[in-house]
Amino acid sequence: MQDPKTIRYATAEGPVTGIRAVTEEDRLTMARRSLPEEAAITYVKAAALQADNIVLSMRPERWNTADFSNLTDELS
Region 39-64: what's the mean pLDDT? Answer: 90
pLDDT at 3 over 80: no
8 Å CB contact between 7 and 75:
yes
pLDDT computed for residue 62 by the predictor:
96
Average per-residue pLDDT for the chain: 86
In the chain, what are the domain boundaries?
A: 12-60
pTM greater than 0.75? no
pLDDT at 43 over 70: yes
Residue 28 has a CB neighbour count (10 Å cut-off) of: 16
Q: For strand 62-67 and strand 54-58, is the pairing parallel, antiparallel, or unpaired? A: unpaired
Closest residue by Cα to residue 55 from 19, 31, 27: 19
CA distances, 1 to each of 19, 32, 35, 59, 74 (Å): 27, 8, 8, 24, 22
